[in-house]
Amino acid sequence: MDPSSHDYIYRMEASNVGLDGSLNSVKLICYGDDSTLVDRRFEINPVEALSYTTCVESRIRHYKFSVVKKNTTRLCASKPIITVNGKFPGPTLYAREDDTVIIRVVNHVKDNVTIHWHGVRQLRTGWADGPAYITQCPIQTGQSYIYNFTLTGQRGTLLWHAHINWQRATVHGAIVILPKRGVPYPFPKPDKEEIIILEWWKSDVEMVINQAMKLGQPPNVSDAHTISGLPGPAPNCSSNGYTLHVESGKTYLLRIVNAAVNEELFFKIAGHQFTVVEVDATYTKPFKTGTIFIGPGQTTNALLTADNKIGKYLIAISPFMDTIVATDNQTATATLRYKGTLVFSPTALTAIPPRNATPMTTNFMDNLRSLNSKRYPTNVPKIIDHSLLFAIGVGVNPCSTCLNKTRVVADINNVTFVMPTTALLQAHYYNISGVYTDDFPANPAMPYNYTAIHREYADVKRHKSVPIGCGNYDPNNDPKNFNLVDPVERNTISVPTGGWTAIRFRADNPGVWFLHCHLEVHTTWGLKMAFLVENGNGPNESILPPPTDLPKCIMDLDFAIVMDERPAWYSRPTRKATSLYLRLGRRSNK
């Protein structure tokens, strides 16, 4: 606000009505007769605005993502970080269910880039999925690529993030999929919506990762966590954190996104409860909780009513870790502030859950049930064509190029994935041989004792998680307890250390789909594989042809693990990019 001229100019960073990037001005013109004219203007991109004002069922939304370095100050230190449009966190992508989204990504940095639309089903549009060397080769410096996909059968919050090396540490943002016009939420309409992004902050990610790879060891923990880009006061740096402004009596829909690279987090607000209504862009049965548990890649929508006394309340995120692994133990904080709070009023505090609060996580996950209403049925697959048992683990391999001559690796059924130099989807589509093998073992090579296995994540195109258990999986008895009625439907699932999870999914989307741990540290070590779903015979059962601007491959070996020797305890040799074939087939929904 310029007090002398009584005007105020602001830029709309993000909006849900097509005003992104608009320049707005408010000017007060005072007349001598005690009257005032409020002159309010905004400048908008006409194409963007038009797409919101016309009354068609579904529309095309255009976005431009410029990948640029931006000098950013956090924890009292500045450094250039890779961003989209200079923002950390990046811009929000707004759309409605059934809309088509077209995002032109232009790479202005020296590193290769890809963007993944985490959790978007990508029906027949695998070319737009984004994991580097899986569905596409990266976008090189000075190049661009247009991601084009339709949002089908999903509504809620998802995230987008870079999908190459560790770039997603700073290159990420929210995807908001609103219901179709005129379709209400299946829960009370909130007065306002807020996006809250939880992150991992590290000065110079690249250097840290390079060093870790040379040592063959885990990288150092983060310097801080951040809430919507801000860490809040830290031990050696006092800075303001993010503030969530609320009005007494109003209800807010919080769209919470965990964009941290390695940490599962607890999310709490002093003096307030949440009602969880949606996870990973599928509605859930509403349930009340004081603490939200959220893994990297996951999203949670929760209602919050400002029903406490006017004042300030602490928002805190802290890590969950149930095994002996170094973690960044610092709590990032933000403030919930009621309208009308006096400037110097103290902030009400909250107790942080213990780092190893396993019962809390179990309780939270047990409460998550899909809505399974008439309008939003769950449709759990009842007939199983392939039964796969995957054992995931972490071990140590010899490494001639590593300083310690050993390197930490991870595997699925004793296979450590080796990054290909051609994208698997291209290799499949154009029948290029030698890029991957298709004999991925459907079972572990040896009877497995899971108790030594570390907590893992999987990220596959939307699956229904039936149960989660601790200890060894018992194939005879555990299936008797599977919830086949209303299991939660997610794109990322959290598995306890030494525990297991069972997942059912229908191979109904042709393409190559990356299944991997969503803790970046494990992905780097090779805890990844691909599912290859072949075309079916039906009219909509084949993948669309690749877009003409699909990037060409020039391998960047920066962080790719090159397996040079076979470890003694591996019963199978480490293999090139490996995938498992599933044949696309249509089934009546029995």
Query: Which residues make up the interface to Cu ion (CB under 5 A)?
Result: 118, 297
CB of 285 to Cu ion, least distance (A): 25
CB of 257 to Cu ion, least distance (A): 11
Residue with Cβ nearer Cu ion (48 or 263): 263
How many Cα neighbours within 13 Å face the side chain of 122? 27
Residue with Cβ nearer Cu ion (231 or 297): 297
CB of 158 to Cu ion, least distance (A): 9
Q: How many CB atoms lie within 10 A of CB 235?
A: 8
Q: Are 455 and 358 in contact (CB under 8 A)?
A: no
Tokens 């009842």: give the residue: 382
| 3-class secondary structure per residue, 408-477 | EEEEECCECCECCCCCHHHHHHCCCCCCCECCCCCCCCCCCCHHHCCCEEEEEEEEEEEEEEECCCCCCC
**Is the four-CA dihedral 325, 326, 328, 330 of positive or negative sign?**
positive
Q: How many CB atoms lie within 10 A of CB 62?
A: 14
CB of 297 to Cu ion, least distance (A): 4
CB of 459 to Cu ion, least distance (A): 5
Residue with Cβ nearer Cu ion (96 or 168): 168
CB of 116 to Cu ion, least distance (A): 6
Residue with Cβ nearer Cu ion (316 or 460): 460
What is residue 289's DSSP assignment? E
Which residue has the closest beta carbon to Cu ion? 118
CB of 118 to Cu ion, least distance (A): 4
**Burial letters 292-325, b for 16+ CB under 10 A, else e:** bbbbbbbbbbbbbbbebeebbbbbbbbbbbbeee
Residue with Cβ nearer Cu ion (115 or 123): 115
Give the residue from 195, 149, 193, 145 showing the smallest Cα distance to 175. 195
Residue with Cβ nearer Cu ion (129 or 328): 129
CB of 358 to Cu ion, least distance (A): 24
Residue with Cβ nearer Cu ion (44 or 519): 519
**Is the four-CA dihedral 41, 43, 47, 52 of positive or negative sign?**
negative
Q: Are 119 and 80 in contact (CB under 8 A)?
A: no
Q: Are 231 and 240 in contact (CB under 8 A)?
A: no
Bridging pattern class, strands 251-258 and 192-201:
parallel
Residue with Cβ nearer Cu ion (131 or 441): 131
